[in-house]
Chain A
C-alpha cells in the first residue's frame, strides 16, 4: 500500500552531542541537635519541594500495632497544639500549599510543594505538624474507620486483592511485609490515639531526621529558617525504632494459589518470591536485568505477552527494593481464556533470563535507556528531593546518584545473567491468581505448575495432590488489606497507548 506521492526520509538521524549533565549540587549540613539539612538549589525552579524524612516506617513496628505508623502519618495533619485540622488546612491553602504526610515501610515523610516566595511560612506549618501533633480522638476514630472501609473496598478490586494475597503468600508469618503497610482489619480496629502517638514518637529523634529542600532558593537563608524552626527540638523519644525488619520467604517450591472471582473477565497474575533489599552490591546489574525482563516497553515479558500474543494491556516484572527484602513479582492482567498459556509464557521468560545471556542489543538498549532517562527524571524539584530522600532512607553514600550513570554503563552481559541467576527462582515461585477459577481451573490442574489451591467463598479448598500446602502457604484466612494510599479512583482520562 505504498503511496508514491509521499516523500519521507529513509535514513535514520544520528544523535547530536549530548549536553553534559550532572545530578544537582547538594549541600549537606547538620544542626546542633543532630537534624540533617540537605539542600539542592535549582535556579529557575520557583516551585520548591520540601520533605522532612523521619526514621520510623511500618517495617519495624510491632505486630500488634500494624498500621499505626501509616495512620499516624495521616493523623499528624489532623490537629496540632496551635491549630485544629481545618485551621491547618486553611492556613496551608492560603499559601497555595498542601502539606502531605505519608508513611511507607521504611520511613515517614512530611512534605510540601510551594512557590519559593511562600516557602518560609509553609515550613513553619510543616514544623508545627511534625513537632506538635495532638492526634485528636475524634479525627483518629474517623481515619481508622476510613481505613477499615478502604480494606472492604480492596476486597472488591482484583488488583489490590492480588497484590495483597501475593504478599501474604510469599512471606512467612513473622515478616511484616506479609501484611499491608496500613495494617489488617484486626490490627486497625485496635488503633487509637495512644498507639498512634507511640508509633509517631518512634521517629521523633532529630539525629535520625533529615529536612530536604529543592528549588530556586535564591535569597532564602534556609539554614537560618531551619535553625529557627527545628533548632530547639531536643527531645529524643526515638529509641523505639530499631530499623530491623524480618523478611523471610515462605515459598519452598512452586505452587499455585487461586482466589476465585466468578465472572471475572480478566485474571490478575502475580508470579515470584521475595526479592532483595535496596542496599546490595549488584544493584546496577539488577536494574539493567529488570529493564530487559520486564521494565522497558520492549521488555521480554511485554513483547511476548502483549506485542506477540495480545494477552494483556501490559506485562512487567520488578523488584520492590526496601530496607529489607521486598517482593519480586512478574505481573499481568490477562483475559480469562488465556490464563494458563500466559503463565506458561511468563515462567518461560523467567527461565530464559537465567539460562541465556541477553543479547548485546538488549544490553545496550537497557543501559542507554537508564542512563539517558536520568536527566529527564530530575527535571523538576520534586523528583530531586525524592531521590535524595531515598539516599537517607537506605543509608546510601552521598555520591550514589553521581555514580549511577557510570555504574549502569559498566554493567556487562555476564553481570546481567549473574543477577538473574542469583535473584530469580522460577522453580520456587508462587503463582497467585485472582480470577474465574471455573473458567481455567481444570486447565490449571492439567498444566502441572505445582500444587494447586483454589479458594472459593466457602474457604480454601485444596485441589492439590498432597497435604503440605497449608504449611507452605500459611494460614489462608488471614486478613488482607490495601495499599497505604487507599483505593485508586478511576478518574476519567484520555485513553493512553
Chain B
C-alpha cells in the first residue's frame, strides 16, 4: 500500500488575529499563497443574494496601492496564476507563483484586505455587476438543464435557511447592489481575524513570517464579527419533493438530491465512499446497471457536496436514453441507492473504492496550490488544519457497516428531491403537460433537433 507523505506545517496568529499557516516544500521552485475568508453566500440576507460573490469580483478592482485589474497583471507578469472563488460557507483568493515571487502575493493580498475601499468606485462596481450577470448567464441561464442546481438547493433547504439561495444570486438582487452595500460588507467580513493565510512551497518560513507581519500587521481586527446563528436542520427533509421542468433539451434527465450529514461528520466520509461505489467511473453500480447493462441512461453521476451548516447535499442525475420511459430510469436510480442501505457492499467493492480514493488523495496533495487550499479550508471551517493528514486515514477506516448505515439514513423517499427535465412539447400539446407530475415522454415524439432552444432562466 502506498503511503501518503505527511504535510508538516506551522500554525500561528498575528496580534490582529490573522491566522498564518506555513508549510515548506522544496520539491519544485513554486509557492502557493492562499487566503480564506470566513464569509460566503450563507452570510447574505434576503434581497442581497449573490453579494459575497459580486464582492469577490470587486476585490480585483484595485485598492490603495493597486490599480484596477493590476492584481492580475502583476501576478501574471511574475509568472503566476491566480483566482478567487465563492461558495456557501466561504470565499477564497489564491496565487501560485515562482517561489522567489512569494512576497508580491503577500503584499497584494494585504493591500486589498486593508484598503479595498480606497479604490472602490461606482464605475467599477457597475462594470463587475455586468460581468457577474454574464457569468450567471454563461454558467446557468444559457445552458441546457442550467437551472437544476438552484432548484435542488431551493428544495433541500427551507426559505428561511441561508443555504436556500445559490451563490450566484438573483439578477434583481445583483441589480440592486449599491456601493454602500459593498462598503458595509467589506467592513464587516474582510478583517484579519476573519481570515486564514496559508503559504505552501519553496519558501523560508522566517521570511514569510516577517513579510506577513510587515504587510498585514497594520490592518486592525474587527472586534465584532457577527455570529451566524443556528443553522441546524432536521436530518431529513421529511417528504419527497418533486418538480417537472420543461426545457428545450433533447433528452430527458432525472436529477435527485438528498440532505446529508454535515461536512466534518464522519458519516459524510462514508457517503463519499458510497458515492464512489455508486457512481465513480465505469466499475460503479449505477454506470454498470443503467448505462452498460440495461442501457437506459446516457450518463449518470452522484456527487456529495459538503457544507458545515445544518446539512450537506448529495446530488445526482441520469440522462434518459431516447425511447426509454423516464420512470424506468428513476426507479432504477432509487433502487440502486436504496439497495446500498439494505445490503452490505462486498469486500472487493470496498477495496476498490479505497484504492481509488488513495490515488485521488495522492494526486490532490501533490500540488502546492491544492495543499494550501486544504490547509486554509480545514483551519477556517474546523479550526483544525491537521485534518489534511487525517482525511485519508478516515476514508480508509470507513467500513461496510458505516456505508450501509449512512446510505439507509440518507437515501430515503422522504429525504429526496426529484427534478425531471423534459423536452418541451410542441405548443399544441403543452396543455397536457402538468407541473409537479412526472409525464412520461417518449423522446421519439418530442422535438428531436431543438434548433430553437429556449433556456429556463
Contact = CB atoms under 8 A, between A and B. Distances in A.
Interface stretch (B121-129, B156-164, B237-245, B379-387): B121-129
Contacts of B69: 297-298, 303, 307
A149 B295 CA distance: 12
B154 interface: no
A313 B134 contact: yes
Contact of B27 (A44, A98, A373): A44
Contact of A7 (B120, B143, B219, B359): B219
B77 A46 contact: no
A374 B321 CA distance: 44
B436 to A, nearest CB: 24
Interface residues of B, number: 122
Contact of A333 (B129, B138, B144): B138
A155 B450 contact: yes
B53 interface: yes
Given A90-B348, A114-B359, A380 B366 contact: yes
Contact of A89 (B53, B83, B283): B283
A142 B353 CA distance: 26
Interface stretch (A50-58, A219-227, A261-269): A261-269
A93 B284 CA distance: 10
Nearest to B362: A47
A491 B140 CA distance: 11
Contacts of B57: 497
A489 B79 CA distance: 31
Interface stretch (B104-112, B225-233, B330-338): B104-112
A310 B126 contact: yes
Nearest to B248: A156
A309 B143 CA distance: 23
A6 B453 CA distance: 53
A26 interface: no
A312 interface: yes
B185 interface: no
Interface stretch (B84-92, B260-268, B409-417, B425-433): B84-92
A400 to B, nearest CB: 20
A335 B120 CA distance: 25
Contacts of A368: 77-79
Contacts of A89: 281-283
Contact of A297 (B76, B118, B451): B76
Contacts of B120: 1
Given A149-B298, A262-B452, A86 B127 contact: no
Contacts of B148: 490
A85 interface: yes
Interface in A287-328: 296-298, 303, 306-313
Contact of B139 (A85, A145, A259, A490): A490
Contacts of B172: none
Given A89-B283, A157-B144, A8 B321 contact: no
B308 to A, nearest CB: 14
Contact of B65 (A10, A21, A372): A10
B301 A113 contact: no
B281 A373 contact: no
Contacts of A237: none
A143 B54 CA distance: 42
Contacts of B99: 16, 19
B177 to A, nearest CB: 14
- The 6 A-B pairs at the shortest CB distance, nearest first, are namely A372-B79, A7-B218, A310-B130, A96-B355, A263-B454, A115-B2
Interface of B: 1-2, 5, 27-30, 53, 56-57, 59-60, 64-65, 68-69, 72-73, 76-81, 83-87, 92, 96-104, 106-107, 110-111, 114-115, 117-118, 120, 126-131, 133-135, 137-146, 148-149, 167-168, 183, 202, 211, 214-215, 217-220, 248-251, 281-283, 288, 291-292, 295, 298-299, 301, 303, 305, 315, 319, 321-322, 348, 351-353, 355-356, 358-359, 362-363, 366-368, 448-455, 457
